[in-house]
Structure 1
Amino acid sequence: MEVFAEYLARIDHPQHRARTEEVLTWVHKNFPNLMPKIAWNQPMFTDHDTFIIGFSVAKPHLAVAPERVGITHFSDEIVQAGYDHSKELVRIRWDRPVDFTLLEKMIEFNILDKADCSTFWRK
Structure 2
Amino acid sequence: MSAYDQWLAEVPSELKRQKLTEILQWIQRSYPDLTVEIKWKQPMFIDPEGHFIIAFSYSKPNILVAPEGYLIEQFSEKIIAAGYSHGKKLMRIGDNQAVDYDLLSDFIETNLKVRKGTVGFWHKS
Q: TM-score range by the shorter chain?
A: over 0.9
Tell me which residue corresponds to 1:18.
18
List runs of 5+ in structure 2 lacking aligned partners.
none
Q: Is 1:100 aligned to residue 75 of structure 2? A: no
Tell me which residue corresponds to 1:6.
6
- What are the within-5 Å matches in structure 2 for residues 17-96 of structure 1? 17-47=17-47, 48-96=49-97
- Tell me the CA shift for residue 3 of structure 1: 4.6
Tell me which residue corresponds to 1:112.
113
Quote the RMSD (CA, aligned, Å): 0.9
CA distance in 1, matches of 2:52, 2:118: 10
**Structure 2 vs 1, CA of residues 108 and 3 (structure 1 numbering), >3 Å: closer, same or farther?**
farther
Taking only the aligned residue pairs, the percentage that are identical comes to 39
**4+ aligned runs moved over 4 Å, structure 1:** none
1:10 counterpart letter in structure 2:
E
SS at match of 2:5: helix
- Tell me the CA shift for residue 4 of structure 1: 1.4
Instruction: Map Cα deviations across residues 10-30 of structure 1 (whole Å, 9 max, x no partner).
Output: 012111100011100000100
Q: TM-score, normalised by structure 1?
A: 0.96
CA distance in 2, matches of 1:110, 1:54: 12
Q: How many residues in Structure 1 have an aligned counterpart in Structure 2?
A: 122
Q: TM-score, normalised by structure 2?
A: 0.94
CA distance in 2, matches of 1:88, 1:4: 23
Is the contact made by 1:3 and 1:36 (CA closer than 8 Å) also made in structure 2?
no
1:66 counterpart letter in structure 2:
P
CA distance in 2, matches of 1:59, 1:23: 18
